[in-house]
Amino acid sequence: MSYELYYWDGLQGRGEFVRLALEEAGADYVDVARDDARAMMTLLGDRHVANPPFAPPFLKDGDLIVPQTANILMYLGPKLKLAPRDEGLRYVANGLQLTIADVVTEAHDTHHPIASALYYEDQKQEAKARAADFIDHRIPKFMSYFERVLKQNPHTSADGDEHLVGDALTYVDLSMFQLIDGLHYAFPRATAQFGKHYPRLAQLYVQVAKRPRIVAYLDSERRIPHNESCVFRHYPELDKDVS
C-alpha cells in the first residue's frame, strides 16, 4: 500500500522535507493533491475523521493519519531506514528536526512578519526589517549551532561523510539539505559565503545533492521549483551582502 502525502499542490513548502525522505528511500507514495486537489480539503473538513489534522502536510498510512512535518519524519524514519539505529538518538534526531522547523518558520516570517493573511505588499517595510535581522542574527545563530552539531557528532561514518546524528544518513541530513537550498534561493547574496562560514554544512549539502536517488528526484518533474508562493521566497529587496 502506498503512503499518501497531503500538501498544497504547486508548492515545495514543508511537504518537501517529507518528499525528500520518501524519494531517498525509494518508497511508494502518492502526492495526493497533484492528482486530486479536493481530496485534501475534503479530509481536512471531514467531521467524522478521528484525530483530524489541523493543516498539511500530513501523511496517511492505511487508516493512520500522521500530521506535522517533524512528527511525520519521526514516524517514517525507522520504516524508511532513515533514522538512527540507536533508539535514544532518534529523539536527538527529532530535536534537530524541530529546530530546523524553527528556522523554516522564521524564514517564512521574513516576508510575512505581521500576518499570513496579509499580502507581502501590505507589509514590505516590516518585512525588510525582519529579513535584515534574520540575515544578521538568526541565520548565523542557527547555522553556527548546526555546524557545531556536525563537528561534535562522536560517530564516525564508514563512508567518510559527516552526518548530523549517528553514523549514517538520516532524514535530518536530508532536511538540512532542503533548509540550505531554501536559504540559497531566498537569500542568494546573504548566503554567497555560506561555505566559508559553515564548511561542514556546505559539504553535507553537496554530499546529499550527489546521492543517486536525490539526483534523480531533483532532475524530475516531481521536484517543484522554488516560487514566490512558498515558504522560501526570493524578494531581492529583502536580500543583502554578508562578508
Task: Give per-residue pLDDT as tens, 99-116.
Answer: 999 999 999 999 999 999
Q: How far apart are the first and last CA of the chain?
A: 50
The CATH 1.20.1050.10 portion of the chain extends over: 87-211+228-238
Q: What is the pLDDT of residue 1?
A: 76
Per-residue pLDDT, averaged over 119-137, amounts to: 98
Asked whether the CA dihedral 155, 161, 164, 165 is positive or negative, the reply is negative
CATH code for 87-211+228-238? 1.20.1050.10
Grid cell of 137 as nine digits: 542574527
Tell me the backbone φ, ψ of residue 89, rounded to 5 degrees: -70, -15
Strand-pairing partners, residue 3, are 29
CATH architecture of the domain formed by 3-79: 3-Layer(aba) Sandwich (3.40)
Residue 157 clears pLDDT 70, i.e. is over it: no
Q: What is the pLDDT of residue 46?
A: 87
* Average pLDDT of the chain, as a whole number: 95
Identify whether the C-beta of residue 150 lies closer than 8 Å to the C-beta of residue 200.
yes
Identify whether the C-beta of residue 170 lies closer than 8 Å to the C-beta of residue 163.
yes
Q: What is the pLDDT of residue 50?
A: 87
pTM equals 0.96
The CATH 3.40.30.10 portion of the chain extends over: 3-79
Which H or E element spans position 132? helix 124-133
Which H or E element spans position 30? strand 29-31
pLDDT range class, residue 159, cuts 50, 70, 90: low
Q: What is the pLDDT of residue 17?
A: 98
CA 172 to chain centre: 9
Q: What is the pLDDT of residue 99?
A: 98
The strand ranges marked E within 46-144 are 58-61, 64-67
Per-residue pLDDT, averaged over 148-161, amounts to: 83
The β-bridge relationship of strands 58-61 and 64-67 is antiparallel
User: What distance in Å separates the CA atoms of residue 81 and residue 83, rounded to the nearest whole number?
Assistant: 6
Over residues 19-77, the pLDDT tens digits come to 999 999 999 999 999 888 888 998 888 888 888 999 999 999 999 999 999 999 999 99
